[in-house]
Amino acid sequence: MGYLSRSLGILTALIFVTATMAVAEERDPLKPRVPPDQIAEAKALKNPIPKTPENLAKGKALFEGKGTCFNCHGKEGKGDGPAGQILNPSPRNFTNCKFHKKRKDGELFWVIKNGSPGTGMVSLIPAAITEEEAWTIINYERSFCKEGTE
């Protein structure tokens, strides 16, 4: 009996470890998502929305409301929203300043418009938001990095 319960204990521990390892992770956030033949054009796009406090407040309201972004990306932008927790790869963690430094606004815009194939990030323009609202949210998403990116 002692042997059996010890084996069961080991088995339970193994299952636990395996389950923990299966927790989803972000797919390399520093690798571009825009296809090579479109990236130059995407990078050249300029965000038409100025980063005023009023516009940042609008971006926050859209992120936490109409845009539904918070469901996956989390209210704090860490990629840990209630729906995001079951996604693999997991949603972008916007508090990662290295990610922001690697991306131009136009690349973020491209993903919001076209989605990131093979992930839970689907096209949200025009399904959820307009182009102008996307640019407004991008400014807000940038503010999750507390180092300042520009």
* Interface with ligand HEC (CB under 6 A): 27, 29, 33, 67-69, 71-73, 83-84, 87, 89, 91-92, 103, 107-108, 111-112, 116, 119-121, 124, 128-129, 137
Least Å from the CB of residue 147 to ligand HEC: 18
List the structure tokens of 80.
């840990």
Q: Which is nearer to ligand HEC, 49 or 129 (CB)?
A: 129
Q: Which residues contact 98 (CB under 8 A, 6 or more apart)?
A: 29, 30
List the structure tokens of 149.
């990116």
Least Å from the CB of residue 23 to ligand HEC: 14
Residue 111, Cβ density class (10 Å: 0-12 exposed, 13-18 middle, ≥19 buried):
buried
Q: Which amino acid is residue 44, in one-letter code?
A: A
Is the distance from CB of 63 to CB of 80 less than 8 angstroms?
A: no
Least Å from the CB of residue 101 to ligand HEC: 12
Q: Which is nearer to ligand HEC, 60 or 107 (CB)?
A: 107
Among residues 81, 87, 57, 55, which one has the least CA distance to residue 69? 81
Q: Which is nearer to ligand HEC, 11 or 29 (CB)?
A: 29
Q: Which is nearer to ligand HEC, 9 or 65 (CB)?
A: 65
Q: Which is nearer to ligand HEC, 9 or 94 (CB)?
A: 94
Least Å from the CB of residue 50 to ligand HEC: 18
Question: For residue 62, is it left (φ>0), alpha (ψ between -120 and 50) or beta?
Answer: alpha
Least Å from the CB of residue 21 to ligand HEC: 19
